[in-house]
Structure 1
Amino acid sequence: MEDVKKRKVGEGVGNGETSEEEMRLLLDPLPKPQLVHLLSKLGSQYPSIAEEIRSIASADPVHRKLFVRGLAWNTTSETLCAAFQVHGEIEEGAVISDKTTGKSRGYGFITFKHMESAHNALKAPSKMIDGRLAVCNLACEGLSGASTTPDLAQRKLYIGGLSPNITSEELLKYFEKHGDIEEGSVAYDKDTNVSRGFGFVTYKTVEAAKKAIDDPNKILGVSNYELYVYS
């Protein structure tokens, strides 16, 4: 039986015509990287195949839905969507609110119409929205994204003694001189939206966090601030 299959495949290829069943027999033993390479090549050459691949890949929303955390308490679903629509058409977007108080819980979700839009958004996962640096990752990953790496405890810093008028933008601008920041903001009161006098900054590398700690000039605005690793 196996010899018959092989002969049929060989005959099909020789005649320049290959049935779908014969193609399956050819493709079945190939490893995934090789299949991806072949489909990528075909998709780049034939728009109809590219569109079919795009349709299949985008069919499952798990590949298009982002979890966005670190939102300001006053961020609405409208402003959240406005911040992400630059990456592509949005199918659904919402800030999650507390059922009892109706106030934001500080996170939300964005579902794009196409998977490529989600991938574009993830190229720069940190985004300033309403004065706070929000961070996104695929919703299926939950909180297991880049921020929860083993060295997080060494990269996340607590900054205390901040002047009440220091904004999140000013905080981030000041500390980015030491390295790329993954996320961070001033801590605000949920009810009054007034600064609580402290904030957090998470660097992308441990080295950058160490530079911030070792900086002898710990003055932001008109106040001296306290700085130590948050754990």
Structure 2
Amino acid sequence: MKHSRGILLSGPPGTGKTLIARTICEVLRVKPQIVNGSEICNHLLGESEAKIRHLFHEAEFDAEKYSANSDLHIIIFDEIDALCKTRSTTGGGIRHTVEENATTHLLTKIDGLNQLNNFLIIGTTNTKDSIDPALIRPGRLENVIKIGLPDSDHRLKIYNIDTKLMLQNGILDDDIDIARIIRGTNGLTGAHVEQVVRLATNNAIRRDVLVRGTLDIDESLAEELHAKNIDFINALRILPTLPSDFYKQQQKD
């Protein structure tokens, strides 16, 4: 029985798509090739196709040499929409030709793998609407998995993970209004929660430096440093957000 050869992870930036792709590889005990879609497209005709052929070469060689005993090969195409845009968004000129050729060549290589059973392609994208529909047809990246925004329970888990060492080292004050932090990150990503913790820590360091009147960092700083509730509140105030229409689009996908 042949396994599926393609997975597309779709969701907003910061939801952990690339991390999930890497975790899949760890579970399968495979060291993946990881490439950004924009790195494939080259302004020179033929260069993009050569890069794609290089990515597939090892799997094709192993399949030919070892047949059913070949090891599994995985390619992670991060931001694959940069490579396989919808035809209506590619524009014109030489870049349009390069992108069209690269997309066609990638699809041809994937179709050629239908006779192989040693390959898995994982693509990530912020929204599948930006991708050429031909890429997600059966036999290609047919398994589209939506990676949604974390709910309050998951944001709390992310917060606890990001503050675990701070809590263990006594850096985190006891008066942190965790519920407010979770409410303040509603509709945002796990990366935003992580950013709140990072900004709060920076706020605490900045305050300590002002009090001490020195930029020197020593053991006494580590002993006296405390991230207070106000540090987290100020972090929430300056936290950048994604446009609301982007999130509305995610709900539609």
TM-score by length of 1: 0.23
Structure with greater helix percent: 2
Larger Rg belongs to? 1
Higher share in strand: 1
